[in-house]
Chain A
Amino acid sequence: MSPNRDLAKEIRAALADDNLKGALFHAVSGINEKRRGVVARFDEYERARDAARRIKEQAIADLPALVDRFRAAVQKHGGNVHEAADGDAANRIITEIARDSGAERITKSKSMTSEEIHLNDALEGAGFKVRETDLGEYVIQLAEDRPSHVTAPIIHMSVEDVRRVFRERLGLGEVPREPEELTQLARQRLRADFLAADLGITGANFLLADTGTVVIVENEGNARLTTQLPPTHVVLAGVEKLLPTAADLLPFLQLLPRTATGQLLTSYLSFISGPGWGASPFHPGAERSFHVVLLDNGRYSMREDDLLREALYCIRCGGCMTVCPPYQVVGGHVYGGPTYPSGIGNAWEAGVRGLDTAAEFNDLCTTCSRCQDVCPVRIDIPWMNTVIRERIAERRRQPRGLFERVVYDRLFPVEEDGSVSLSARLFSDPRRVYRLARRRPWRRLMRLGPARRALVRSAGLAPRPLPEARDETLTEWFRRRGGRLATSRLQVERLCDDRRGSTVFLLADCHIDNVDTEVGKSAIRCLEKFGRGVVLVSGQCCGRAALSQGMLRTARAQARELQQMLAPVVRTGHEIVGVEPSCLAAVVDDHAKLLPGGGADKVAARCHEVLHFLDRIVAASEEAGAERWEQKSGGEATVCVLHGHCQQKTLGWMPAAIGLLRRLPGVELRVTTSECCGMAGSFGYKSDFYPLSIEIGRRLVDEIDGIGADAGGRSADGCRTLACGTSCRSQIGEIGAREVLHPVQLIDERLGKQGDDGQLLAQLREFYR
């Protein structure tokens, strides 16, 4: 962790701040709900995202040419384009423009880029009066605070906070109570600033290279007044804001307002291509002028970096922030750098300030991937943050010591060069943890309080129960039962050619193999009841755990082994089924990134999440004429609340799970909207993040209880909680003190009952005979 910041301490302070938590929770819940609504009603959503992504890729590839094209077009309209290599250069250029135009008072509309280069400090230092006019930015300026979100700068403040700022900083005795009155108070004060200003500075959301047009997206109208009233208009924009042509803007117009605020379009879209016409009515003598300052400040280097380039596609909608589980609790001042908050902030801070700045908060990314799902340009933020984590670790790594080489390397080898801590060695491979936990001497030792506490402390672990390894693994149970087991590529190959029945390959991930063995057993029984012969693929870790430690070399080695093991399946066209969503996500999503060109995409195409797979079977049987698998049980249905696992949601496996469970006899299904349980693999076990993890989890449990209570007014005990992730189950189970089932356990149980009636199973057997 950085010497400059104590993240654990900042987290504790944020968690103790009820004002912050309340304001943030209220705002992000509202924004997310609106976004979900407008996105669901937008049929072209995915197509627009594809188009936007393609355009951004093209624009960044052609950037130098676009700068030339843009400059020529702006000049044709009578404007000027300046290029600034860094923040100092941009500040100098803008200060000179202000001086040359004889300006004294400057109004500014919201610009994160100006925050990045501390433009206000530079202008004030040169003697200019600068007024931020976006309402949130105005409050920030008065309070000498900094924005904690890219589109909602004071999302961390309550109404009371704003009142205090107005009272103290404006020297007012009486400050109104309501947001409406506070807004009007600010409007009156700022109106005077607008009318007095002789220079206006704005940012830009997009720059259209062919027509030389600056596009500004806003709601308040302050950018309108900033650009219309003063005779001189200066635009400060990151060079990545360029789009090749005006026509390219359409998908961004469709996406940005929807994702940022849940609007179809914002109140104002300004298209400005030059200095406008005639004298400004309030500055009759002054001639109009127009300047665009294109800022590099690390962006061209990001463009050369195969990883960070993707961040240049960002359109600063802030969607990734409002859905980010740690951000939702601690906000952008804790989870963020000096300018850019949250997940995407890692790449931006790494790009414009350097890796050390990103290192200050990178650990707060749980790689839950919920941001990836809302990103209008499909930026793979979790992957960027994982690779940034690796870069940080590689840079800091000391040479391995003698003890490490002699002892640790034998016991827990890793692929990384240099020193790797014991806890990282353990956490990067769950099999090690479980193997150790199953040893009898170890268990005896762990029963001793002091020994456990000492170990927990030295490994930076939180005081919470660790997952308990079962005496008998799923693999052992399966072998005892006489099942077909594959623990090597050769065995997979042999069993692929075994033409008995319709075989599926079930991945025994580390969690169902060691801890949630009952989930694994239910999955096997369900697949069998649905007429499939199961081969259990066991013994190889997917690499997820190493990935979340930023240990990409180890993860790559693990991925390679698992890929080699599964490869024969592609040749024979068999299906692979996975239970733990995070492990399956590693196989279908991350392996291709770890092993480019290694054929992982072919394996991914054969992989299915277990509920997704069962849903397909049921749908196929119905299509073939079997009676619909609808609710036919008599008696009262049980309310079941399903919490989707992060990756299960991101990778689009939820609709099938919901569809399947909705039709399960005797089940009345409800689904949570919380993004994540907060456990996120090892995140919730680390002492630094434990309180944050618990807070995220508690909100989820509150939501589940609320849903349970709403559904038929029954007590929370009357409903069952379902979750697909092993992390989710242990988090909800621990905080909510309840049993949490994987849906396959419920299906297993219900199919068993139906089996007694004989109806449903008979149908299925008939179909698969």
Chain B
Amino acid sequence: MHASKPQPIDVFASVLEQTGGSVERVSTSRQVAAAIASTAREQGVSEILYEPCTAVEELQIKFLLAAHGVDLLPVDRARSKAPQLRVALTGAELAIAETGTLVVGGKPGGWGLASALPWVHLVVLRDQDVVADLAAAYRRFVARLRGGEGDWVWITGPSRTADIGHTLVLGAHGPNALKVLVLQ
């Protein structure tokens, strides 16, 4: 008898959790909206900085969120309001199970700010976009880099520092929390 190989998404979730991130599995638009709204409530906000991405757009959660009293504010319309928004929502193009990493960006847009400015970063990830190992993911990534998509950020857990007293502190300059909503 041999143990069945763990699914990439399970590995991703456990490695990400070790870096201080968290994973919530969702399968319906309603669940996604509820998860986002619950984070907004925790943070006491009604507006969320938003970088449009296909996964979220397809779900058509705007109205569902409105029912929760939460508005999505796209980065290009947020302007100087952006730094005051405590929560941001983006998609991810790819995730790497081995390292618990989200690959964000590639295309033009405000993902760079949305992923760096807030206190809580919410990411919607489709489970089929999780690649098991770094080497395979990197090969896919290089193909896109060479194809002209030159700007990306790889995110592995919340922002951190151990500069003071060699004590780990999350939320150094970027998000203090990284919550991944995995769409199954």
In the assembled complex, which residues on chain A have CB atoms less than 8 Å from the CB atom of B69?
A: none
Given the known inter-chain contacts A190-B173, A250-B138, please indicate yes or no for A264 contacting B100, CB distance below 8 A. Answer: yes
Q: Which of B75-106 contact A (CB under 8 A)?
A: 75-76, 78-80, 82-83, 98-101, 105
Q: Does B8 make an interface contact (CB < 8 A)?
A: no
Name the contact of B134 in the complex, choosing from A155, A225, A246, A250 (C-beta under 8 A).
A250
Q: Does B52 make an interface contact (CB < 8 A)?
A: no
B174 touches A221 (CB 8 A): yes
Stretch at the interface among A132-140, A413-421, A521-529, A678-686: A132-140
Q: Does B64 make an interface contact (CB < 8 A)?
A: no
A187 touches B167 (CB 8 A): no
In the assembled complex, which residues on chain A have CB atoms less than 8 Å from the CB atom of B117?
A: 225
CB distance from A679 to the nearest CB of B (A): 28
Name the contact of B150 in the complex, choosing from A135, A178, A271 (C-beta under 8 A).
A271
CB distance from B155 to the nearest CB of A (A): 6
Q: Does A84 make an interface contact (CB < 8 A)?
A: no
Name the contact of A159 in the complex, choosing from B15, B108, B158, B164 (C-beta under 8 A).
B164
A168-210 vs B, CB cutoff 8 Å, 1 = contact: the mask equals 0000000000111011100100110011000000000000101
In the assembled complex, which residues on chain B have CB atoms less than 8 Å from the CB atom of A77?
A: 150
Q: Which of B7-27 contact A (CB under 8 A)?
A: 15, 19
Q: Does A278 make an interface contact (CB < 8 A)?
A: yes
Q: Which of A262-283 contact B (CB under 8 A)?
A: 263-274, 276-278, 281-282
* CA A272 to CA B149, docked complex, whole Å: 10
Q: Which of B145-184 contact A (CB under 8 A)?
A: 145-146, 150-167, 169, 171-175
* CA A274 to CA B156, docked complex, whole Å: 23
In the assembled complex, which residues on chain A have CB atoms less than 8 Å from the CB atom of B153?
A: 224, 268-271
CB distance from B170 to the nearest CB of A (A): 9
B150 touches A273 (CB 8 A): yes
Given the known inter-chain contacts A195-B83, A222-B172, please indicate yes or no for A158 contacting B165, CB distance below 8 A. Answer: yes
Q: Which of A602-647 contact B (CB under 8 A)?
A: none
In the assembled complex, which residues on chain A have CB atoms less than 8 Å from the CB atom of B169?
A: 179-180, 183
Q: Does B59 make an interface contact (CB < 8 A)?
A: no
Q: Does B135 make an interface contact (CB < 8 A)?
A: yes
Q: Closest residue to A221 on the B side, CB-wise?
A: B174
CB distance from A130 to the nearest CB of B (A): 17
Given the known inter-chain contacts A221-B116, A254-B134, please indicate yes or no for A265 contacting B156, CB distance below 8 A. Answer: yes
Q: Does A659 make an interface contact (CB < 8 A)?
A: no
* CA A238 to CA B43, docked complex, whole Å: 43
B164 touches A267 (CB 8 A): no
In the assembled complex, which residues on chain A have CB atoms less than 8 Å from the CB atom of B158?
A: 267
Name the contact of A23 in the complex, choosing from B98, B156, B165 (C-beta under 8 A).
B165
In the assembled complex, which residues on chain B have CB atoms less than 8 Å from the CB atom of A133?
A: 173
CB distance from A286 to the nearest CB of B (A): 14
* CA A154 to CA B174, docked complex, whole Å: 20
Q: Closest residue to B15 on the A side, CB-wise?
A: A264
In the assembled complex, which residues on chain B have CB atoms less than 8 Å from the CB atom of A162?
A: 164-165
CB distance from A408 to the nearest CB of B (A): 50
B99 touches A265 (CB 8 A): yes
* CA A254 to CA B79, docked complex, whole Å: 37
Q: Closest residue to A140 on the B side, CB-wise?
A: B163
CB distance from B105 to the nearest CB of A (A): 8
B79 touches A224 (CB 8 A): no
B115 touches A264 (CB 8 A): no
Name the contact of B173 in the complex, choosing from A136, A222, A227, A249 (C-beta under 8 A).
A222
B164 touches A220 (CB 8 A): no
Given the known inter-chain contacts A224-B174, A264-B100, A268-B174, please indicate yes or no for A276 contacting B112, CB distance below 8 A. Answer: yes
B134 touches A269 (CB 8 A): no
In the assembled complex, which residues on chain A have CB atoms less than 8 Å from the CB atom of B45?
A: none
Please report the total number of B residues contacting A with Cβ < 8 Å: 53
Size bracket of the A interface: 35 or more
Name the contact of B166 in the complex, choosing from A26, A264, A278, A282 (C-beta under 8 A).
A26
Q: Closest residue to B159 on the A side, CB-wise?
A: A221
In the assembled complex, which residues on chain B have CB atoms less than 8 Å from the CB atom of A213?
A: 145, 150
Name the contact of B108 in the complex, choosing from A211, A219, A264, A277 (C-beta under 8 A).
A277
Name the contact of B154 in the complex, choosing from A254, A261, A268 (C-beta under 8 A).
A268
* CA A136 to CA B79, docked complex, whole Å: 30
Q: Does A354 make an interface contact (CB < 8 A)?
A: no
CB distance from B51 to the nearest CB of A (A): 12
B150 touches A281 (CB 8 A): no
B83 touches A219 (CB 8 A): no
Q: Does A247 make an interface contact (CB < 8 A)?
A: yes
Q: Which of A142-168 contact B (CB under 8 A)?
A: 152-155, 158-159, 162
* CA A77 to CA B146, docked complex, whole Å: 12
Name the contact of A276 in the complex, choosing from B146, B151, B154, B174 (C-beta under 8 A).
B151
CB distance from A304 to the nearest CB of B (A): 32
B142 touches A220 (CB 8 A): no
- What's the A-B contact tally at a CB cutoff of 8 Å? 175
* CA A708 to CA B134, docked complex, whole Å: 42
Determine which residue in B79, B158, B162 has the highest number of CB atoms from chain A within 10 A of its CB, and name it: B162
Q: Does B72 make an interface contact (CB < 8 A)?
A: no
In the assembled complex, which residues on chain A have CB atoms less than 8 Å from the CB atom of B109?
A: 277
Q: Closest residue to B167 on the A side, CB-wise?
A: A179
In the assembled complex, which residues on chain A have CB atoms less than 8 Å from the CB atom of B101?
A: 265
* CA A276 to CA B15, docked complex, whole Å: 31
Q: Does A229 make an interface contact (CB < 8 A)?
A: yes
Q: Does A212 make an interface contact (CB < 8 A)?
A: yes
In the assembled complex, which residues on chain A have CB atoms less than 8 Å from the CB atom of B162?
A: 30, 152, 261
* CA A247 to CA B142, docked complex, whole Å: 6
A286-304 vs B, CB cutoff 8 Å, 1 = contact: the mask equals 0000000000000000000
Determine which residue in B145, B150, B156, B171 has the highest number of CB atoms from chain A within 10 A of its CB, and name it: B150
In the assembled complex, which residues on chain B have CB atoms less than 8 Å from the CB atom of A284?
A: 79
* CA A264 to CA B116, docked complex, whole Å: 21
CB distance from B80 to the nearest CB of A (A): 6
Q: Does A650 make an interface contact (CB < 8 A)?
A: no
Q: Does B113 make an interface contact (CB < 8 A)?
A: yes
* CA A338 to CA B119, docked complex, whole Å: 37
CB distance from B93 to the nearest CB of A (A): 12
A281 touches B108 (CB 8 A): no
* CA A92 to CA B162, docked complex, whole Å: 34
* CA A278 to CA B51, docked complex, whole Å: 14
B164 touches A183 (CB 8 A): yes
CB distance from A630 to the nearest CB of B (A): 30
* CA A155 to CA B167, docked complex, whole Å: 11
* CA A152 to CA B156, docked complex, whole Å: 19
A154 touches B152 (CB 8 A): no
A187 touches B172 (CB 8 A): yes
CB distance from A69 to the nearest CB of B (A): 13
Name the contact of B165 in the complex, choosing from A159, A219, A222 (C-beta under 8 A).
A159
CB distance from A220 to the nearest CB of B (A): 4
Name the contact of A224 in the complex, choosing from B112, B139, B146, B164 (C-beta under 8 A).
B112
In the assembled complex, which residues on chain A have CB atoms less than 8 Å from the CB atom of B99?
A: 264-265
* CA A227 to CA B117, docked complex, whole Å: 12
Given the known inter-chain contacts A159-B165, A282-B80, please indicate yes or no for A219 contacting B160, CB distance below 8 A. Answer: yes
Q: Closest residue to B18 on the A side, CB-wise?
A: A264
Given the known inter-chain contacts A228-B112, A254-B134, A264-B99, please indicate yes or no for A281 contacting B174, CB distance below 8 A. Answer: no
* CA A190 to CA B172, docked complex, whole Å: 10
B174 touches A267 (CB 8 A): yes
Q: Which of B124-139 contact A (CB under 8 A)?
A: 134-135, 138-139
Q: Closest residue to A282 on the B side, CB-wise?
A: B80
CB distance from A213 to the nearest CB of B (A): 6
The 4 closest A-B pairs by CB, nearest first: A221-B174, A273-B150, A277-B108, A220-B172
What are 25 of the A-B contact pairs (CB < 8 Å)? A26-B165, A31-B166, A134-B163, A135-B164, A136-B163, A139-B164, A179-B165, A220-B172, A220-B174, A221-B174, A222-B173, A224-B116, A224-B153, A224-B174, A247-B138, A264-B15, A265-B99, A265-B101, A267-B174, A268-B174, A271-B151, A273-B145, A277-B108, A278-B108, A282-B79
Besides A139-B164, A180-B167, A195-B83, 12 new A-B residue pairs in contact (Cβ under 8 A), listed by A number: A26-B166, A135-B163, A136-B161, A136-B163, A139-B163, A220-B160, A225-B117, A249-B138, A267-B159, A271-B152, A274-B151, A282-B79
